[in-house]
């Protein structure tokens, strides 16, 4: 984890700026979800939809 944060700190000042965090998120596939990519819902992408309760 430390190595990931060190690589994200592009100006090597010891702190992550919002721009550095955004760039890190882009490199990880668009968000802080781990492996990136789609999450494999039935509709082919995004988060699976929660079933609705019958009325």
Confidence at residue 30, expressed as pLDDT on a 0 to 100 scale: 57
DSSP of 7-40, one letter per residue? HH-TT-SSS--HHHHHHHHHHTTSSSSSS-S---
Q: What is the tens place of the pLDDT at every residue in 1-31?
A: 888 889 999 999 999 999 999 999 888 875 5
Which of these, 35, 10, 37, 40, lies nearest to 22 by C-alpha position?
10
- pLDDT score of 44 more than 60: no
**CB atoms near residue 11 (< 10 Å):** 10
Q: Taking the mean position of all CA atoms in its chain, how far away is CA 54?
A: 34
Examine the pLDDT at 41 and tell me if it is beyond 70. Answer: no
């Amino acid at each position: 984890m430390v190595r990931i944060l060190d690589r994200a700190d592009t100006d090597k000042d010891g702190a992550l700026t919002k721009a550095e965090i955004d760039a890190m998120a882009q490199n990880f596939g668009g968000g802080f979800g781990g492996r990136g990519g789609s999450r494999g819902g039935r509709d082919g992408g995004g988060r699976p939809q929660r079933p609705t309760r019958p009325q």
